[in-house]
Chain A
Amino acid sequence: MTVGEICDKLNLEVLSGESGLERNANGVYICDLLSWVMAHAQKDDVWITIQSHSNIVAVASLLELSCIIICEDAEIEDETVRKSAIEGIPIVSSKKSAFELAKDMVNLGLGS
């Protein structure tokens, strides 16, 4: 499944990094601690977090994650938007909680 398809199906708002919407999405990883993500997230994972500082883009790019979903309507910094456009990592915003988003992902068949 591509990131674009997930966003369409779940009606998620893509804030930037649209050039990455064709990226393949495979699993899901949920965490707000960057070095924890660094150790455990896998390539092509959808990363759900409330962390919105621009360093999340560096983490996602180094690990080749498929996209970042900022949950609970957490505020996103301009620098994060700018960097995600450069790296082609889609940043998606949602008012749902990480748990609700995870259920949505399971229903889409992600990670199975």
Chain B
Amino acid sequence: MDNIRYDFEIEKDDFERAGEASSSIKKILRQLGLNSGIIRRVAIAAYEAEMNLVIHSNGGSIVIEIDPRKVTIFANDKGPGIKDVKLAMKEGYSTASDRIREMGFGAGMGLPNMKKCSDDFSIKSILKEGTFIVMKMFLKDGD
């Protein structure tokens, strides 16, 4: 299998299309015939990353790469960056506004969910520049 790569542009505040990138990613993995366990993990991680770009960032992209050993999700945005990444990673920590909370977001579980779904998770954030997340899910025999 050659490496496969797909790019999705995510716009700030675009709630109408929110979730479409994750849904496309899920379809791609299905077509590749991956098993439902890894598809679920990738779908959850991609969705949480996508929603964070819509809600908290100035826009960015979700990139998915599939190689024979793993699925990698990159979530990169154009700022504003996260001041205290350690705090942001805490379950229950959220800066979501009331308007966003009314839509059901803002439990402060997105980043912890992403980490839980990944075999390897890294997050780097630079104020004003952006937040850069890499998530790897390793394929095991049978995936």
Query: Interface of A with B (CB < 8 Å)?
Result: 32-36, 38-39, 43, 49, 51, 53-59, 61-63, 79
Contacts and interface: CB of A to CB of B under 8 A. Distances in A.
B82 to A, nearest CB: 17
B109 A35 contact: yes
A36 B47 CA distance: 13
Nearest to B44: A38
Interface in B16-75: 16, 18-20, 22-23, 26, 36, 40, 43-44, 47-48, 51
Interface residues of B, number: 26
B15 to A, nearest CB: 7
A58 B109 contact: no
Given A34-B104, A36-B107, A39-B109, 9 more contacts: A35-B105, A35-B107, A35-B108, A35-B113, A51-B103, A58-B18, A62-B19, A62-B26, A62-B47
Identify whether the interface residues of B are mostly helix, strand, loop, or mixed.
helix
A58 B48 contact: no
A76 to B, nearest CB: 13
Nearest to A36: B107
Nearest to B42: A62
Identify whether the interface residues of A are mostly helix, strand, loop, or mixed.
helix
B116 interface: yes
Given A35-B109, A35-B110, A53 B104 contact: yes
Contact of B105 (A34, A49, A54, A63): A34
Interface of B: 15-16, 18-20, 22-23, 26, 36, 40, 43-44, 47-48, 51, 102-110, 113, 116
9 contacts: A33-B109, A39-B109, A43-B40, A55-B104, A56-B104, A58-B22, A58-B23, A62-B47, A79-B16
B105 A62 contact: no
A103 B30 CA distance: 36
B62 to A, nearest CB: 14
A39 B103 contact: no
A57 B18 CA distance: 11
Given A33-B109, A38-B113, A39-B116, A55 B43 contact: no
